[in-house]
Amino acid sequence: MKNYDSRSKSPGRWISIINRLSDKYFRTELKRFGLGLGQHLLLAELYDQDKINQDTLAKHLEADKANVARSLNKLEALGYIERRQHPKDKRSRVIYLTPKAMYIKDDFVKVLRGWSLLLCSNLSTEEFETAIKLLQNMYSQAHKMYGQDTRENMF
């Protein structure tokens, strides 16, 4: 068993601090798009996989369905998404990116990459790959206890 007695060696502490700094970065950088912290994660996921339903989006992000619904309402009000009835399941709505969302995509992705570059610019390729593997391992451990679903295809 590792020694987690020291606060400086607590992975959770460092992850939490990085998350708060990430929030500061994104609050500042997302203002030009009219986006808040919750919306940027959804929009980033939708750029990767457009035309999915709200439940699937919530599962992909391991997010609360009600929070996802609120964030989607904001994205819709801003004109970045449209929700249309699923052609086969009338109870489900499919999320589509709008031309406005596609117009900002390149600049939006630069903001996302900017944070990753800031975090990892002083890492070698080997250190970067190791960091990603370690974070994935920590995610897997946390997911075993608190995850919403099984995510075989995540990595």
Residue 28: is its pLDDT beyond 60? yes
Instruction: Say how far apart CA 3 and CA 149 lie, in whole Å.
Output: 30
Is it the case that residue 83 has pLDDT exceeding 80?
A: yes
pLDDT band at 3 (very low <50, low <70, confident <90, very high): low
CA triplet 67, 68, 70: central angle to 5 degrees? 65
CA gap 79, 84 in Å, rounded: 14
The model's pTM: 0.82
Confidence of residue 144 (pLDDT cuts 50, 70, 90): confident
CATH placement of domain 11-121: 1.10.10.10
Name the band, by pLDDT with cuts 50, 70 and 90, for residue 6: low
pLDDT of 19 strictly over 90: yes
Please determine, for residue 85, whether its predicted confidence score (pLDDT) is greater than 80.
Answer: yes
Q: What is the pLDDT averaged over residues 123-142?
A: 93
**Cβ-count burial of 2 within 10 angstroms (0-12 exposed, 13-18 middle, 19+ buried)?**
exposed
Burial of 151 (0-12, 13-18, 19+ CB in 10 A): middle
Q: Give the separation between CA 50 and CA 139, rounded to whole angstroms.
A: 25
Is the model's pLDDT at 150 over the cut of 70?
no
> Minimal CA–CA distance to 94: which of 105, 82, 102?
82
* Domain spans, the chain: 11-121
Across 47-56, average pLDDT? 90
Helix or strand holding residue 94 (H, E) = strand 93-97
Give the pLDDT band of residue 42 (cuts 50, 70, 90): very high
Instruction: Give pLDDT, residue 86.
Output: 81
